Amino acid sequence: MTGISSLWEFLSRDAAFFGGPESPMLSWIGSFGIMLFFLWHIIRLRIDVSGAQRPFNHIRPILTTLADERGDVDHEQFTNHALVGFAPPAGQATSASTRIDCDDLHALESAMQKEPMFRQPWAQFRKTLLLEHVPWFVEPRIFSTRRAEEIFTQDTLLSHRVNLAFYSQLPSLVTGIGLLLTFLALFIGLSKLHADGHEIVGIQGLINGLAGKFLTSIVGLIAANLFTLIEKPMVFRLMNEHHSFLSLVDKLFPRKTMEQMLEQLTPMHRTRGGVRQTPGGELMERIGGMGMDSLAAPIAELTEAVRSLTRLKQGEQAAVQRTSAELPRVIRDEFTAPMRELNDSIHDLTASLKDMRLHRTETLDDLIGNLTDGRSEQRTSSDLSRTEGRRFWPKWPMVSSQQPIA
């Protein structure tokens, strides 16, 4: 208890530093703590943002060089069968469309693998790249089916390097700490007040250090505003680096939509006025003729295979139809004779059962008649013997069982 009382007395003691107002030691200690907390997080923010910007600074020169050498690609080059890959006429500069996309992809792949921050998102982005199917004499183009911002998101790249959510709430946290220490200082001053009879004791200690009790709130507000002024531009520069990276990746690998891929699959129709003659028209016609001649044999074989398969399918269907039509007749022809034999057998069995029943009935009637005649004869003979016995049997006088009364 003595230690707690001594600590409480030390924190509530008014003091003045650097020619400032008198304030409780709690306010001075809280103000120094707020400044240290502010400086610590400013340093941490600077280190985190610099670490997050470093991969962007390393990869940006390569992306910028590749994108500038490629140049802007016209929308028609995405959908039309443009003839690229040939040497341009003399005196004409090489266009960006004659560049080899596979070489650019290989160079960018090497640069991305050196940066741990881009390694995993780049592996996912590679799966969205589409290599254009073109003839052997045309250099294939590489397109992307998804935008770079869908893969290289802010959360994927920066969430594990810079805690932007915490730094955005840090000014409110510093302000709240300053207000809390101010209310504690006021609580210490008010705790000294007590009534001693008709007098209030301790009001001098409250009034003397009243101005200094708001020191922590003032320092907290100043630190919160300074942190906001420093943090917002740093985060803004980091976001600009991220957006610049996304735009360069999209420029290097243009996005090809589903409509463009379907349009590319649709065969080109010639104009009604005939083929338009161009300086390279003869070369185009020759290449088109070569392509048609090379495709004629495979198309003929494919057509013949389709026709053979169609005939085979039709033959199978005809056989199934004939089988289904003849099946009832075959079943009827095959089962007529066995069914007739089965019916005859059933009739014979029924007649045999009837004969057996009649025979058994006659036998039973004869047996019953014989038994009846034998019984009648036995009864007649027994009646005769009983009559003769009565004739020769002596009659004994019946003696009364009653005694005479004396």
Strand partners, 299: none
**Over the range 23-49, which residues count as b (16 or more CB within 10 Å of their CB) and which as e?**
bbbbbbebbeebeebbeebbeebeebb
Backbone angles phi, psi at 243, to 5 degrees: -65, -40
pTM assigned to the model: 0.53
Backbone angles phi, psi at 198, to 5 degrees: -95, 5
Q: What per-residue confidence (pLDDT) applies to 40?
A: 94
Instruction: Determine the residue type at 158.
Output: L
Q: What per-residue confidence (pLDDT) applies to 363?
A: 80
Per-residue pLDDT of 304-346, as tens digits, reads 888 888 888 888 888 888 888 888 888 888 888 888 888 888 9
Mean pLDDT by 10 residues, the chain (406 residues): 63 65 77 92 93 91 83 48 43 47 83 89 87 71 84 88 90 91 79 65 62 81 93 92 90 74 56 43 50 68 87 88 83 83 88 84 80 78 60 47 44
Q: What per-residue confidence (pLDDT) applies to 351?
A: 86
Q: What per-residue confidence (pLDDT) applies to 105?
A: 85
Q: Do the beta carbons of residue 254 and residue 128 sit within 8 Å? A: no
Per-residue pLDDT of 22-32, as tens digits, reads 667 778 888 89
Output the six-digit token pair for 115: 């940066």
Task: List the one residue out of 141, 105, 111, 155 whose CA is nearest residue 126.
Answer: 105
Pure H helices in 164-280: 164-191, 203-208, 215-252, 258-265
